[in-house]
Amino acid sequence: MLSQERLPASYTELYDTVVLPCAAEIAARQSTVARTILIGLNGTQGSGKSTMAKFLVLALAEKHGLNAVILSLDDIYLTKAERQKLAVDVHPLLATRGAPGTHDIALAHSIVEQLQSATPNSTTPLPQFDKSRDDRCPSTEWHVCNGRPEVILLEGWCVASPPQTDAELVEPLNVLERIEDGDGRWRHYVNAKLAGPYGAFFQLIDTLVMLNAPSFEAVLEWRTQQEEKLAERMRETGGDITALSIMSSEELARFLLHFERITRHSLQHLPQRADIRVDFDAGRNVRGLSIRKVEH
């Protein structure tokens, strides 16, 4: 059964009202199998996936004595050269990172297997991606996980997202698809990847957590706010804004068009599949927490 309750909107209460109950449920699920479990964390751009993942690592360690490690889809993009080759061989839109088909899913699958089979003395390198260079960091800069974690947090905007039918792909959804993917080659390629290697990888997920946005329109607003806050922090600290490749509002709006189709489809179909769901309103206030309790 899914238990549901209204929650305070204050962000300062997120840890107590959302993170701790989520961590308790994850810990309970891990205790029933006594092995490393894979937690999928799905959330749109701007929903706070990274913050949620970090809070869960903290809560799992402090409250349950469990070691958790984060694996982000943002860190397993194909290299810039690999995506440029796809842009030539398959479709120009594949040069832009983000959509299924632009990640190294085989690498992610391998890392999960290494972590799940690790010994106390094992070291597992975790890839890092440099968005300022739009390329994967050299392996010498990758983080390392020591030993075997009890929990792996796989976070990303399309984690566990379901593919569409061929009929749903026929009509362009937005101006990007209409002008730059008129024949549908890009969206069919992306969907095939989501149905194939991505879907097979997501089958490894033991528990799915979803940060549920109210609409795609809210996502655009959230992501815009994130970009503005990042630019403001850089100006206050005297940092180099250009080094972070901060996008203008027009650039950001176009960028998010790459994600609109899958995001809308996921918001429609994924909430009922999630084991743990955090519902947000348009102001990014938490308005509900639903947890499907594990059977002991």
Condensed to tens digits (0 to 9), the pLDDT of residues 235-285 reads: 666 655 454 556 777 888 899 999 999 999 999 999 999 999 999 999 888
H/E stretch holding 23 reads helix 20-33
Q: Give the per-residue pLDDT at 9.
A: 46
* pLDDT tier, 225 (very low <50, low <70, confident <90, very high otherwise): confident
Residue 265, CA distances (Å) to 75, 100, 156 in order? 24, 14, 15
Q: Determine how β-strand 135-136 pairs with β-strand 129-130.
A: antiparallel
State residue 1's pLDDT score.
Answer: 37
Select the more confidently predicted residue: 143 or 11: 143
Q: Is the pLDDT of residue 296 over 90?
A: no
Q: What is the pLDDT of residues 156-174, one digit of tens each?
A: 999 999 999 999 999 999 9
pTM for the full predicted model: 0.90
The whole-number pLDDT of residue 7 equals: 44
Instruction: Report whether pLDDT(124) > 90.
Output: yes
Q: Which of 98, 218, 210, 97 shows the shortest CA–CA distance to 154? A: 210
- What confidence category does residue 231 fall into, taking pLDDT thresholds of 50, 70 and 90? low
220 confidence band (pLDDT: 50, 70, 90): confident
More confident residue, 255 or 5: 255
Query: Please, which residues have CB within 8 angstroms of residue 188's CB and are 6 or more apart in sequence?
Result: 166, 169
What's the CA gap between 57 and 212, in Å, rounded?
20
pLDDT given at position 8: 45
- Mean pLDDT, range 181-189, rounded to an integer: 97
Question: What is the per-residue pLDDT for 246?
Answer: 65
The per-residue pLDDT for 12 is 61
Q: Is the pLDDT of residue 117 over 50?
A: yes
> Distance between alpha carbon 206 and the CA centroid of its chain, in Å?
16
